[in-house]
Amino acid sequence: MGEIRIEGLTKVYSGNVTALDRLDLTINDGEFFALLGPSGCGKTTLLRTIAGLEVATSGRIHIGERDVTKMSPGDRDVAMVFQDYALFPHMTVSDNIAYPLRIRKVDQASRAQTAARVGAGLGLNGLLERRPGELSGGQQQRVALARAMACEPSAFLFDEPLSNLDARLRLEARTFLKGLQHQLGVTTVFVTHDQAEALAMADRIAVMEAGRLRQLGTPAEIFHRPIDTFVANFIGSAPMTMLDADLVRGRLYVAGTTIEQEVAVRWSGPDPSDGPVVLGIRPEYVRVGAFGPMTVQATIRIVENLGATVLLTAETASGDRLQALVPDGTQPAVGAQVELSPVAERVLLYDEEGHLMTPATQAAPAPA
């Protein structure tokens, strides 16, 4: 009922700016779906095109059974919550929530009743007669949500729903939104530039760049197996360490060490051709000490305290920089010579074009 299917969607602005480039995407009914990417990648354009605020240059959009590509925004049966909530300042909270019903010509009494019910469900009791200007940021967000819920649409569209809240409130709101969406079971598409937010809230994520879809998958898939170096760099609180390496006859030469059979034999497909590759490993999966087939000698240069963890930046003899995230209290001092071992199962190899080479047949690694 609330499935959103996008076929070959293209949006070109005057001046030959391509905001969306032949996108194909299916959002499942009831899914909490994130559109993630840097600014200018087209995620907001995509959201607005689904809403009908932008007209696609070519391609089709289906919501449920209906082809809504040519429909005006009011007929698509979607509700949109904007970044600034767009609560009408001259109307009370109750009137704001009931606004979609007013357009649908529901009578005043029923409108007020629905507004009260929906508002109560979001903890807005007692605020119904106030004006939006008198509410806190969190309350305003809930009013905007209530307004979207009041018309019981097929899908919710959220444009950066959390960016107007301050940092502490944002985390609470994240949990709240996730719970609410799960409870309502309505298809929800939200746009964010914050990868942590997308990973935490979404069932599936579409990572976009320059109007194209880079990767589509669950948070776990995106985090553990970013499909190219762009996604790899974009995801993760601490950036993934990328090291230039050479693959020669099944052996990996990187950071002054050679990885022998252990890594090389895991290719189950055709052997990758020799040549320069990029090795990616997250600091979370680099340990201090000699474990596993890949061990690198390095000198600790920078120590950053992150609370419960410490981020180490080390330099190898070959001049490469390698980062490791270790529990607080176990970090070596600056200048210490240590051995760093990436967890073999977490190592990812990217070819010259930045595409992922490591096959997916690798079994999910046991917790270290």
Partner 1 sequence: MSDHAADAAGLGRPRAAAFMAPALLLITAFLVVPALWTLVLGATNYRLTGLAAANPQFVGTGNITEALSDPGFGWSLWLTLLFVLGSAIFGQSLAGLSLAWSLRSAPKVVKAVVETLVLMAWILPSSVVAFLWVAYLSRHGGTLNAILQTPGTDWLIQHPMASIIVFNIWRGTAFSMLLFSAALSAVPPSQMESARLAGAGTLAQLRDVVFPHIRGHVLTNTLLISLWTFNDFTPYLLTAGGPNHATEILPVFIYNRALYGGELGYGSAISFLMLIINLVIALFYVRLLRERR
Partner 2 sequence: MSPQAFLRRVGFVLFLAVVTAFWALPMLWLVTAPFDAHPGLTVRWPEWTLDNFRRLSESPYAFSSLRNSVLLAGGAMILVTVFGALAAYALSRVHVPGRGAILYGMLLLSSIVTGTAAMVPIFQLMFTLGLIDDRTGVILVLTGGLLPAAIFVLKDFMDATPRSYEESARVFGASPTQVLRHVVLPIARPGLATIAVWALVNAWGDFLTAYILLRDPTKTPAGVVMYTFYSEGGQANLPLISAFSVLYALPVVVLYIFVSRRYGFRFHGGIKS
Q: Would you tell me which residues interact with partner 1 (CB under 8 A)?
A: 13-14, 45, 54, 72-73
Least CB distance from residue 43 to partner 2, whole Å?
17
Q: Which three-class secondary structure state does DSSP give residue 341?
A: strand
Among the candidate windows 97-105, 116-124, 219-227, 333-341, which touches partner 2 by CB under 8 A? 97-105
The Cα 83–Cα 92 span in angstroms is: 20
The Cα 322–Cα 225 span in angstroms is: 19
Looking at 153-209, list the stretches that DSSP marks H as alpha helix, in order from N- to C-terminal side: 167-184, 195-201
Q: Which of 35, 63, 79, 242 binds partner 2 (CB under 8 A)?
A: 79
84 binds partner 2 (CB under 8 A): yes
Q: Which of 40, 59, 64, 73 binds partner 2 (CB under 8 A)?
A: 73
The Cα 236–Cα 226 span in angstroms is: 10
Q: Which does 13 bind (CB under 5 to 8 A by kind): partner 1, partner 2, none?
A: partner 1
Least CB distance from residue 13 to partner 1, whole Å?
6
Least CB distance from residue 49 to partner 2, whole Å?
12
Q: Which three-class secondary structure state does DSSP give residue 141?
A: helix
Q: Residue 192: name the closest of 162, 226, 217 by CA.
A: 162
86 binds partner 2 (CB under 8 A): yes
Between strands 241-248 and 251-254, the pairing is: antiparallel
The Cα 201–Cα 203 span in angstroms is: 7
Number of residues that bind partner 2 (CB under 8 A): 24
CA distances from 157 to 50, 55, 69, 129, 160 (A): 9, 16, 16, 26, 10
Among the candidate windows 63-71, 88-96, 185-193, 240-248, which touches partner 2 by CB under 8 A? 88-96
Residues that bind partner 2 (CB under 8 A): 51-53, 73-76, 78-80, 82-84, 86, 88-90, 99-100, 103-104, 147, 151, 157
